[in-house]
Amino acid sequence: MIASMELVRELATLQPGGPVLGVHLRTDPRDPANTAVTPKWLVELRNGLREVDNAADEGESRGERLARRELCAGSNVRCSSCMPASGHEV
């Protein structure tokens, strides 16, 4: 599935200053692990986001911790919505 123009515009105009999360996933639909009901890339993403969300940093303020949690939750929702509809190619 191709990212919507709305998402592309949002990413292009994103203002610096908040936390940034970069994710690289192997989403190739030809990979047998990605043909399951829940593809492997999504499982790995969710596990990685959970790990980042649970990471403890002693010097982190409450606001920074909440921003990180919000970023992880939003990333999970956005990437989950990138799943192709049944019968469609990525």
pLDDT tens track, the chain, 90 positions = 456 788 778 877 877 676 777 788 888 889 999 888 888 988 998 898 888 888 767 778 888 888 888 888 888 787 777 665 444 444
- Among residues 49, 48, 40, the alpha carbon closest in space to that of 69 is found at 49
pLDDT at residue 70 in the model: 87
Domain range list for the chain: 5-80
pLDDT at residue 68 in the model: 83
Are residues 71 and 64 in contact, defined by beta-carbon separation less than 8 angstroms? no
Report phi then psi at 18, rounded to 5.
-100, 175
Are residues 25 and 41 in contact, defined by beta-carbon separation less than 8 angstroms? yes
- Among residues 85, 9, 81, the alpha carbon closest in space to that of 45 is found at 81
Instruction: Name the one residue in this structure whose structure tokens are 């043909």.
Output: 35
